[in-house]
Amino acid sequence: MKIIGGSASQMLARSLAQELGADLAPTVSKLFPDGECYVRIEDDLDGEEIVLVQTTHPNDKFVEILIIMDAIREFEITSLTTVIPYFGYARQDKKFNTGEAISARAMARHIQLQSDKIITVDIHNPDVLRWFDVPTHDVSGMPRLAEYFKGLEQPPEIILAPDEGAKHRAVEVASILGCESDYLKKHRIDGTTVEMKSKSLNVDTKRVAIVDDIISTGGTIVKATESLKAQGASSVLAACTHGLYANNALERLEKVCDSVVSTDTLETATSKVSVAKGVAKAIRK
């Protein structure tokens, strides 16, 4: 087996190669002066089972994955498993308005053309996987975040999801940590003020962690953290699988949260947790 890491997923590709005891195939990926992408695999892939790791965000990383796949298919490989740690466009998973594209489907249709198996990590809506005609597996990053929490000097005492739909993630983390979990509910105080409150737990004097799949603008977590602190939480740790941090979100988060952590599905200053273990397990299946 050989691992190929696209330019968006070098960290994870290295960890995955280590986890699987496989070689990382040296690959050059660069941009021409006009911005077009150039890829060259500097290894012999003939007769190999290949695992390609590449997040498809931002847009140029999607173009790159298509080009890497083409380079891989120039060899006589036995199979190609494509790991998409952060699957860009997964949130446009239906037509919210007439005339819109189902962007997640458009992306899936192209990626699957060259893949024998697809592995994603905490894909926003698992229903998106039905658009791949090849076997798929979505890996949860929550056990890895839970392990990270466990290793802290003062682990969180309460795990909260930002909304009811994400409750399962908080439950998954809390069951590993052996602590309580809940989800946040919005309460309108007046025309301009909205407070977020744990549905049934008292956070006063407690160390709290909020877990989510994605932090994008950070709006949800900033609001939640401010509310939880006002309710007496002694600390608030923000954790997510995919740290997108649009519009300087990280700066805003660091002003209100005690710490911010994410996984290596997107390589950022907060990628302190690797999802390699879960991805390796899905590859071995």
Residues 6+ apart with CB under 8 A from 111: 56, 65, 66, 69, 82, 84, 118, 132
- Beta bridge partners of residue 238, listed in sequence order: 210, 260
Q: At closest approach, how far in Å is the CB of 163 from ligand R5P?
A: 7
140 binds ligand R5P (CB under 6 A): no
Stretch that binds ligand R5P, among 27-35, 43-51, 130-138, 208-216 (CB under 6 A): 208-216
186 is catalytic: yes
125 binds ligand R5P (CB under 6 A): no
Q: At closest approach, how far in Å is the CB of 165 from ligand R5P?
A: 7
Residues 6+ apart with CB under 8 A from 96: none
| Of positions 218, 270, 279, 282, contacts ligand R5P by CB under 6 A | 218
| Of positions 18, 103, 114, 216, contacts ligand R5P by CB under 6 A | 216
17 binds ligand R5P (CB under 6 A): no
User: In sequence order, what E strands does 143-198 have?
Assistant: 158-161, 180-188, 194-198
Considering the candidates 94, 95, 185, 186, report the single residue annotated as catalytic: 186
Instruction: Decide whether 203 or 249 has the Cβ nearer to ligand R5P.
Output: 249
217 binds ligand R5P (CB under 6 A): yes
Closest CA to 194 of 182, 183, 186, 202: 186
Report the distance separating Cα 29 and Cα 27, nearest Å.
6
How many helices (H) does the chain have, and how many strands (E)?
8, 15
Binding residues for ligand R5P, per CB under 6 A? 162, 166, 212-220
Annotated catalytic residues are 186
